[in-house]
Amino acid sequence: MFDQVLAWMEEDGWPTQLIDGRTAVRTRVSDADDSWEAVAIVYENRHELIVYAQCGNSPDDRKAAVAEYITRANYGLPLGNFEMDYSDGEVRYKTGIDVEGGDISPHLIHNVFYANASTTGKYIPGLRTVFEGADPAEAVRLIEALTRKDQPVQ
């Protein structure tokens, strides 16, 4: 599975940096307004592909506000979720697929990566304003006013 993910990434033009000792790869994602690092991990024995967009680290004094922001953003998201590690404030967006009993295809890999990039690109600007002191409810309201929640960012 990992070889298939790497082949798809190369064909689709994603930069890759293998992570030593793991079936994982780092990449850089960019949209019109921002860029961030993502990590794709393949768990061969579980037949899973997980993609994490690394969205930055919350300042200690903003963790409660960031938790509110990601909770509000998560509500109704169909294909993934934001999560925060309270120990260090790391925020990431996760998408994944389990293909046990079937095969992974380039189309499925594409869907996992692009669902991740699209949603991260939509919400990361608001998240960064919350890191800096913005009200979480207002930040989500503004982001969702710009794009309908049920449509991917173009």
State the pLDDT at residue 154: 40
Domain that holds residue 8: 2-146
Task: For residues 6 and 123, give the distance between their C-alpha atoms in angstroms, rounded to a whole number.
Answer: 27
Q: What is the pLDDT of residues 45-78, one digit of tens each?
A: 999 999 999 999 999 999 999 999 999 999 989 9
The pLDDT of residue 30:
87
Using alpha carbons, select from 98, 107, 152, 124 the residue that is nearest to residue 30: 124
What parts of the chain have a pLDDT lower than 70? 148-154
| Domain-embedded: residue 152 | no
In a domain, 93, yes or no: yes
pLDDT of residue 148: 63
How many domains does the chain contain in total?
A: 1
Count CB atoms within 10 A of the CB of residue 16: 13
Give the residue from 49, 55, 54, 53 showing the smallest Cα distance to 8: 49
Q: What is the mean pLDDT of the chain?
A: 93
C-beta separation of 24 from 41 below 8 A: yes
Among residues 133, 129, 115, which one has the least CA distance to residue 38?
115
What pLDDT score was predicted for residue 153? 45
What's the predicted TM-score (pTM) here? Answer: 0.91
CATH of the domain at 138: 3.30.1460.10
d(CA 104, CA 8): 11
